[in-house]
Chains A and B, each alone.
Chain A
């Protein structure tokens, strides 16, 4: 019997380490430590309900487990063979406990290739990884394939870069192989910077060997003996597990000198990033690794021709690498059979926002947003109405109701005005103001622009300022034209991928939610009530008893009214400080998008 405890960053911060030690303590007390093994795994993906504990072989999926539940799990489940009902996941529709994760809506539609071992193995134990086929693909390649044949397999699989650009991985390998040089590098881009995204982190925390193995395969293909993983220093757990994995792989002869006795050498080192978003862009990443300012340079030359220290460098993202061993073992045809015409395989997404099942999912390309949101994601929180979904990270775009049935792949997302990006998905509901959403993303972009090229450095700042004006009720209809022109020029003239996509949140919200912008600038109204300066503080005359508490506490004397008569707020004077709401004992003051009471409670 095995008890798997999620050891991803999310569950760890909810005390999963304590759960594990309590489980082990209980087992020891019952002298069951030799019969039942507690294994700390990588992320299960279902972060919404973490910490997760999974009991094998019956695949019982316990959610929201607390350290004090350990005794009951051992006493009931392990010893008496009775599932702990109260810890089982409850299907929100059928309102019934689900025992086996296979039957959970969250997992039903998922297909796990990159995440194949996450949540199943102890990432700090190479033997478990090897038992799950780790390094078999490397062995196969070294023993049976030439580098050219291997590249052919990757090309045939039609795997495209998962970091955002979607460049065909096999082609990139081929170009780097053809670059002539005495030294080449394999770089793994683990500088995951999108807000809310944790795809790469989960892979590295849950199955680091899949990436190490793929890097070695890549090294064999392009003719490199050195790999570098550029990882954010903010990922301490991933760094720790990578270090352990590299050490173990070296001691097993799977990395380092003369791998598997074939004469192939490949070592891997870590390089830490300081968290600049732009360092996820490959030329910036390389400059950062070289100790220079993290900022992009023009391409060409591409890193495949001139990269790290001027040498040909193959840069791939974590998720791209994680797919490679599976492709080698199961074949290019298998991989290419999954997905759509131009986007093969699966994609990992980090599902976040106003959605019931927040977490990490891996789905086949071609799945629709509707399936992701309503089946895997379990629908919108609190039964609210879906409004938009932001895909592709901060420089992606907002998609709407009308895109819900579009099959998701690289091309369709681009066509819809967004992009695949690295896989962030943030769901918004009717309470979200789309102008504020655009402003939020522009705030991030302005913060993360490196400052090298003028349109990104100044243009995005100006976009932010205009959006800020609009949310404050100071926008004009001309501002919308300015937003459009600036956005298109920034896209057209910026130096790197960051700048070339940075106005996407503005453009996509302007396209899909133009009426909300117009409401803001013409009607001075924010339908969601999120824009404070466009909201109205109104006293409900039916509820107000005229006690005068609000009147006395208003710092700007905006409230008038006779004693025991309903009071009134002068909107022109009101500074929306909330002091009146805090003092009202009758819940009579409302914030709303109209100056008049819309409906009585």
Chain B
């Protein structure tokens, strides 16, 4: 690779040809402020529209200032990143952006996490000499996402995630000039658009223009109602990220403190979605083996590959985009919904509480889960299996609100019976984890042999699309993995065209899987945070004594006492679901 040399703020720096000025500066240890720019290393996600003009620098010999995020560094360039001309331009542009932004930081969902606020502080903005009209666009609330478009600064990150990364196409720049915003086309609301509620737009929004629907007050009300028994379940990836909200290093596992905090918040039973993840493996694994065996036996009615269905964003995506393939995904419900179904039947009976008086709260890394638990298919006589779904961020906020000193909490265990889980369940949080967990069980059930090596490293990694062939005792099973809906689309297009070589495919809507979910603490584009969370997840698996779902004693007990066998009629009634065609649900209101 050709190297070039340039001078930035009197420092000489050598970079590879093709690097931007911003990259060169960072290499030299010079931090140029950015706003619209977004870069997720290793994930091929890069947003550089060059729209905010905050990162401008002075290049000797150039007429105007150069946006460092999109200007290629060239040999011999002499750059100033902090000359008075640059500082004045940067501050003026910043003041312009702020002049077109609501001043309601005190009550903004993003307060404290807002990149605009952080920059305003860094720039020492104390007055806005250019006050004037503010651009405005109507607010839109969907089951998962709130769009407060007045706060949009046109960084276009959400548009990038929605179109290029996720290929959903729900959000685009609309209108011209001062009134430009990012919104669904044709004045649609999100609920009428092809939005999957994956929330990746929310995850990257630098301001409060996109945020999640907050359910904390509903949960608080349930907790204070003496007639209600409130149980909580926490998704595998939450424990690997929650600590970040309390200043702990990314990748710090806080499983025990989290359980303790939930107990202090007043939840009657602190359970674990991991239990339901093990249950999912039992059902989905059985379905996989069933379809596989029938396929091997030559049954032409059986479709392969089988696709995982734990991810509600992904389910929404194929309901919108691949309605012709509705019989391809597994019919198994997601762990959140399996938990709800079991909690409001098996567990409610066990403790003698009417399902209407049992409130199930989930803590999820996810925004699509908020929508999922509101779907009619997951209700019995109008009563939902899961009443409220909170994000990791909401839980952190709730803990702070209740002035619980998180650091001071002891490590506590989950309650039984729905709190016991295996290592197979925890890895659901990472891309490739569900299919690895399924392989651990399916291999042993299919071959009747015990696994020598529990970990399937060939299924791990961060590449958007991965594939591996697992040897099921002489039978090669082709596994495909995709995370990010754009990658999923590629695998689905293959399936649709009849070219797919896979027996089973795991799909997660969010890049990185649930650890990169839209309900997790904001990573502000630092992909090393995601890597640390992934590592934490695998380390918790390693520490578990039981690491295969079918060996979870409480799962065995559940089948013995209640469900019968995996795939039984009762299991189907409670734990499986059918999908439907949403392609014609996109409506344009005039």
Q: Does B553 contact A (CB under 8 A)?
A: no
Q: In the complex the two chains form, what is the Cα distance from A482 to B51 in whole Å?
A: 23
Q: Does B583 contact A (CB under 8 A)?
A: no
Q: Are B176 and A485 in contact (CB under 8 A)?
A: no
Residue in A300, A458, A482, A489 whose beta carbon sits within 8 Å of that of B178 in the complex: A458
Distance in Å: Cβ of A166 to nearest Cβ of chain B: 14
On chain A, the residues within 8 Å of B172 by CB distance are 293
Q: Does B294 contact A (CB under 8 A)?
A: no
Q: In the complex the two chains form, what is the Cα distance from A492 to B130 in whole Å?
A: 18
On chain B, the residues within 8 Å of A454 by CB distance are 51-54, 93, 96-97, 153-154
Q: Are B96 and A446 in contact (CB under 8 A)?
A: no
In the complex, residue of chain A having the shortest beta-carbon distance to the beta carbon of B153: A454
Q: Does A323 contact B (CB under 8 A)?
A: no
Q: Does B100 contact A (CB under 8 A)?
A: yes
On chain A, the residues within 8 Å of B52 by CB distance are 453-454
Q: Are A489 and B180 in contact (CB under 8 A)?
A: no
Distance in Å: Cβ of A129 to nearest Cβ of chain B: 39
Q: Are A450 and B176 in contact (CB under 8 A)?
A: yes
Q: In the complex the two chains form, what is the Cα distance from A489 to B52 in whole Å?
A: 13
- B270-305 CB mask vs A (1 if < 8 Å, else 0) is 000000000000000000000000000000000000
Contact residues of B: prevailing secondary structure: loop
Q: Does A447 contact B (CB under 8 A)?
A: yes
Q: Are A458 and B100 in contact (CB under 8 A)?
A: yes
Residue in A458, A478, A495 whose beta carbon sits within 8 Å of that of B99 in the complex: A458
Chain B contact residue count (CB 8 A cutoff): 36
Q: In the complex the two chains form, what is the Cα distance from A447 to B176 in whole Å?
A: 8
Q: Are B133 and A455 in contact (CB under 8 A)?
A: no
In the complex, residue of chain B having the shortest beta-carbon distance to the beta carbon of A293: B173
Query: Which of A138-146, A415-423, A459-467 makes up part of the contact surface?
Result: A459-467
On chain B, the residues within 8 Å of A478 by CB distance are 129
On chain B, the residues within 8 Å of A451 by CB distance are 154, 173, 175-180
Q: Does A494 contact B (CB under 8 A)?
A: yes
Given contacts A458-B96, A493-B65, contact A450 B180 (CB under 8 A): yes
Q: Are A452 and B129 in contact (CB under 8 A)?
A: no
- B79-91 CB mask vs A (1 if < 8 Å, else 0) is 0000001001100
On chain A, the residues within 8 Å of B179 by CB distance are 451
Query: Which of B66-74, B247-255, B390-398, B412-420 makes up part of the contact surface?
Result: B66-74
Q: Does B92 contact A (CB under 8 A)?
A: yes
Distance in Å: Cβ of B170 to nearest Cβ of chain A: 15
Q: In the complex the two chains form, what is the Cα distance from A292 to B283 in whole Å?
A: 45
Q: Are A494 and B53 in contact (CB under 8 A)?
A: yes
List B142-192 residues whose CB lies under 8 Å from chain A.
153-154, 172-173, 175-180
Q: In the complex the two chains form, what is the Cα distance from A238 to B195 in whole Å?
A: 43
Q: Are B153 and A492 in contact (CB under 8 A)?
A: no
List A459-499 residues whose CB lies under 8 Å from chain B.
459, 461-462, 465, 478, 482, 485-486, 489, 491-495
Q: Does B122 contact A (CB under 8 A)?
A: no
Q: Are A465 and B132 in contact (CB under 8 A)?
A: yes
Q: In the complex the two chains form, what is the Cα distance from A465 to B72 in whole Å?
A: 36
List B17-75 residues whose CB lies under 8 Å from chain A.
49-54, 56, 64-65, 67, 70-72
Chain A contact residue count (CB 8 A cutoff): 33
Q: In the complex the two chains form, what is the Cα distance from A295 to B176 in whole Å?
A: 10
Q: Are B96 and A462 in contact (CB under 8 A)?
A: yes
Given contacts A461-B132, A462-B132, A486-B92, contact A493 B153 (CB under 8 A): no
Distance in Å: Cβ of B54 to nearest Cβ of chain A: 8
On chain B, the residues within 8 Å of A297 by CB distance are 49-50
Distance in Å: Cβ of B177 to nearest Cβ of chain A: 4
Q: Are A461 and B53 in contact (CB under 8 A)?
A: no
Distance in Å: Cβ of A424 to nearest Cβ of chain B: 21
In the complex, residue of chain A having the shortest beta-carbon distance to the beta carbon of B36: A454
Given contacts A461-B132, A465-B132, contact A449 B176 (CB under 8 A): yes
Distance in Å: Cβ of A399 to nearest Cβ of chain B: 21
Q: Does A262 contact B (CB under 8 A)?
A: no
On chain B, the residues within 8 Å of A449 by CB distance are 176-178
Q: Are B85 and A462 in contact (CB under 8 A)?
A: no
Q: Are B85 and A495 in contact (CB under 8 A)?
A: no
In the complex, residue of chain B having the shortest beta-carbon distance to the beta carbon of A451: B180
List A420-451 residues whose CB lies under 8 Å from chain B.
446-451
Residue in A298, A455, A486 whose beta carbon sits within 8 Å of that of B70 in the complex: A298
List B327-346 residues whose CB lies under 8 Å from chain A.
none
- A286-320 CB mask vs B (1 if < 8 Å, else 0) is 00000001010110100000000000000000000
On chain B, the residues within 8 Å of A446 by CB distance are 177-178
Given contacts A446-B177, A451-B178, contact A482 B53 (CB under 8 A): no
Given contacts A298-B50, A300-B72, contact A457 B92 (CB under 8 A): no
On chain A, the residues within 8 Å of B176 by CB distance are 276, 447-451
Q: Are A455 and B96 in contact (CB under 8 A)?
A: yes
Q: Does A9 contact B (CB under 8 A)?
A: no
In the complex, residue of chain B having the shortest beta-carbon distance to the beta carbon of A458: B96
Q: Are B49 and A452 in contact (CB under 8 A)?
A: yes
Q: Are A455 and B178 in contact (CB under 8 A)?
A: no
Q: Are B93 and A462 in contact (CB under 8 A)?
A: no
Q: In the complex the two chains form, what is the Cα distance from A197 to B49 in whole Å?
A: 31
On chain B, the residues within 8 Å of A295 by CB distance are 173
Distance in Å: Cβ of B190 to nearest Cβ of chain A: 20
On chain A, the residues within 8 Å of B180 by CB distance are 450-452, 457
On chain A, the residues within 8 Å of B132 by CB distance are 461-462, 465
Q: Are A489 and B154 in contact (CB under 8 A)?
A: no
Q: Does A60 contact B (CB under 8 A)?
A: no
Q: In the complex the two chains form, what is the Cα distance from A451 to B88 in whole Å?
A: 22
Q: Are A453 and B53 in contact (CB under 8 A)?
A: yes
List B480-524 residues whose CB lies under 8 Å from chain A.
none
Given contacts A455-B53, A457-B178, A492-B85, contact A298 B93 (CB under 8 A): no
Distance in Å: Cβ of A490 to nearest Cβ of chain B: 9
Q: Are A489 and B64 in contact (CB under 8 A)?
A: no
Q: Does A500 contact B (CB under 8 A)?
A: yes
On chain A, the residues within 8 Å of B70 by CB distance are 298
On chain A, the residues within 8 Å of B71 by CB distance are 298
Q: Are B129 and A482 in contact (CB under 8 A)?
A: yes
Q: Are A489 and B133 in contact (CB under 8 A)?
A: no
Q: In the complex the two chains form, what is the Cα distance from A276 to B96 in whole Å?
A: 24
- Scoring B70, B176, B180 by chain A CB atoms within 10 A of each residue's CB, the highest score goes to B176
On chain B, the residues within 8 Å of A494 by CB distance are 53, 64
- Scoring B49, B54, B92, B177 by chain A CB atoms within 10 A of each residue's CB, the highest score goes to B177
Distance in Å: Cβ of B129 to nearest Cβ of chain A: 6
- A319-346 CB mask vs B (1 if < 8 Å, else 0) is 0000000000000000000000000000
On chain B, the residues within 8 Å of A450 by CB distance are 176-177, 180
Q: Are B99 and A462 in contact (CB under 8 A)?
A: yes
In the complex, residue of chain A having the shortest beta-carbon distance to the beta carbon of B53: A493
Q: Are B51 and A453 in contact (CB under 8 A)?
A: yes
Distance in Å: Cβ of B156 to nearest Cβ of chain A: 8
Distance in Å: Cβ of B80 to nearest Cβ of chain A: 13
Q: In the complex the two chains form, what is the Cα distance from A465 to B129 in whole Å?
A: 12
List A490-536 residues whose CB lies under 8 Å from chain B.
491-495, 500
Distance in Å: Cβ of B384 to nearest Cβ of chain A: 40
Residue in A455, A489, A491, A495 whose beta carbon sits within 8 Å of that of B88 in the complex: A489
On chain A, the residues within 8 Å of B67 by CB distance are 298, 493, 495
Q: Are A500 and B64 in contact (CB under 8 A)?
A: yes
Q: In the complex the two chains form, what is the Cα distance from A295 to B49 in whole Å?
A: 11
Q: In the complex the two chains form, what is the Cα distance from A486 to B130 in whole Å?
A: 9
Q: In the complex the two chains form, what is the Cα distance from A447 to B56 in whole Å?
A: 25
List A255-301 residues whose CB lies under 8 Å from chain B.
276, 293, 295, 297-298, 300
On chain A, the residues within 8 Å of B53 by CB distance are 453-455, 493-495
Starting from the known contacts A453-B52, A454-B54, 10 additional A-B residue pairs (CB-CB under 8 Å) come to A448-B176, A451-B177, A452-B154, A454-B51, A454-B154, A457-B154, A461-B133, A485-B88, A492-B65, A495-B51
Give 8 CB contacts A-B under 8 Å. Answer: A455-B96, A457-B177, A458-B178, A461-B132, A465-B133, A489-B88, A491-B64, A493-B67
Nearest first, the 7 closest Cβ-Cβ pairs linking A and B are A451-B180, A449-B177, A458-B96, A465-B132, A489-B92, A462-B130, A493-B53
